[in-house]
Amino acid sequence: MSHLLLIGAGFSRNWGGWLATEAFEYLLGCQEVMQSTQLQRLLWRNQTQGGFESALAELQQNYVLNPQENLAALLDLNAAVERMFRDMNRGLLRATLNFANDKAKSIGAFLARFDAIFTLNQDVLLEQHYMTPPNNVNLLSERQPRWHGAYFPGMSRVRPTDPAILDSWSQSIWQPKGQADFTLEAQSQPVFKLHGSSNWRNPDGRSMLIMGGAKVREINLTPILSWYATKFDELLQEPGAKLMVIGYGFRDGHINDEIKHAVERGLKLFIIAPEGAELAQRLNPTNAAPIRVKSELEDIMERSLIGASRRPLSSTFGNDNAEFDKVIRFFA
């Protein structure tokens, strides 16, 4: 039996990371947006229909249809998004990972329980507070350590020239290795960034951030991320697999499809989100329609859910002992 973790923006939110609605509000104050009526209208038009990612998707599509008219706006919005991640990452670097002094409730020890971590986040929270030595995976047992460390499969770190950050994973640039080196390491915990990261670069130097409306196409064009998607699918479909989902709003169709296929083969889910077990019901697009139709996501939840928690991690891993025990039951 494998215990897997999938995290989204709601996970980093526990330490000050921004949700999509907050990212929208950040972008409104960027110079590129304030100086562009086109970008302002674009963002507001998409505010309630997917936020800034929908705005970016619309702009990407407009660029395909008319590159000359939309190139400047696309470059400006991409620049604003990259600045947003830089500012958010600076805040996350100053965060404290644990919510209590109880070693048994350390976030690092919790994360180390998983056989693999998949993240849709593109911030550097894990690199800074979990993966970089000496934080380097809080092992479950000092006598019998489970992991030698955590790592990004198929990725290599470019060591900074600044001595002050020489060993920092979070402040380093990361680049993919050759495809022959897309392998898993024994006794090291794999962390898969399914949509790339704010400090990852393609071999040609371009940012490896998968955002907007063509995620599947961009993933398929990026060998390392295409391999990550394959591993996500394979591990979810292992016999007896259990997936804990923290802070993911189930709005990425390609991720939902992989989960659906795995549920059909027996995958079990545990969800940590403010909506708890009502998450799928809240997302049903026919809630306000004259006739409500049960959604596919609701069906997935009813078939696979083995528990949920709607309390913030700061409570669960703080003084809320009953909720902590309920969450840890996932590993029983």
Q: What is the DSSP string of 294-324?
A: --HHHHHHHHHEEEEE-S-HHHHTTT-HHHH
Q: Whose CA is closest to 183, among 155, 148, 149, 219? A: 155
pLDDT (tens digit, 9 = 90+) per residue, 211-235?
Answer: 887 889 989 999 999 999 999 999 9
pLDDT score for 140:
44
Average pLDDT (82-104) is: 92
Does residue 131 carry a pLDDT above 60? yes
- Model confidence, pTM: 0.94
pLDDT interval class at 49 (50, 70, 90): confident
Angle at 281 between CA 228 and CA 20, to 5 degrees: 50
DSSP secondary structure of 79-131 = HHHHHHHHHHHHHHHT--S-SSS-GGG-HHHHHTTSSEEEE---SSHHIIIII
Q: Can you tell me which residue has the tokens 């990425």?
A: 252
Q: Which pLDDT does position 189 carry in this prediction?
A: 94
- Euclidean distance between CA atoms 55 and 67, whole angstroms: 16
44-53, 127-136, 249-258: least confident range: 127-136
Separation of alpha carbons 59 and 213, rounded Å = 9
Percent of the chain topping pLDDT 90? 75
Rounded percentage of the chain residues whose pLDDT exceeds 70: 96
Q: How far is CA 293 from the centre of its chain?
A: 29
Q: Record the tokens describing residue 220, joined without a space.
A: 């398929």
The predicted pLDDT at position 103 comes to 85
Residue 324 confidence (pLDDT): 97
Strand partners for 175: 156
Residue 145 has pLDDT above 70, yes or no: no
Helix (H, G, I), strand (E, B) or coil at 175: strand
Continuous segment of H or E residues that includes residue 51? helix 51-65
| Spatial contact of 320 and 327, defined as CB atoms under 8 Å apart | no
Positive or negative, the Cα torsion across 79, 80, 85, 89?
Answer: positive
| Sign, CA torsion 221/227/228/231 | positive
Would you state the pLDDT for residue 141? Answer: 46
Angle, CA of 164, 133 and 85, to the nearest 5°: 65
